Chain A
Amino acid sequence: MKTAILLAALAAGGFGAGQAAAADLAAGEERYGVNCVNCHGRTGRGMASFPSIAGRDAEFITSRLKSYRARETVGPNSALMFSLADELSDEDIANLSAFIAETFR
């Protein structure tokens, strides 16, 4: 999967240097597998009362994660997102946002 993502990123040309983009996406994928997949799922379409994040661009995901990290309530699952976003650095958020936007189009 990582190879496919790298190729997609390179083809899209949406990131600076190809190598840097691959590293970001791989780190984002790893973080997604730890923090996000349990509720948003393997394809980002959400499940139960957890919303879909498929089709969202990186700017949207970044904005939301920073809002949650700042303890701003956005929707009924905010408490859970506060807890998860609390540990994310700016770099983590950038990686996650890139991975989600690139993978779950």
Chain B
Amino acid sequence: MIDVLYFAWVRERIGLPKEKIETGAATVADLVEELRAREERYAVAFADLSALRVAVDQELTEFDASLEGAREVAFFPPMTGG
């Protein structure tokens, strides 16, 4: 079980801020493939990975990052702080 979080327009497109997912995905990219195959709203949200950023256990990382031991994965657009 892994907590998957969505922020900003990713959250709006998928329609929820957080869900628990039972997955055997080895990497973030594998998890994205599983999500895309679920439903159209996921396919739409994950259509262009260059428009997305990912954090594993609250650390920014890349889509090829391993999910081994991960508790939390978050997907969001490029950040706009300041």
A and B associate in one complex: no
Q: Which residues of A contact B (CB under 8 A)?
A: none
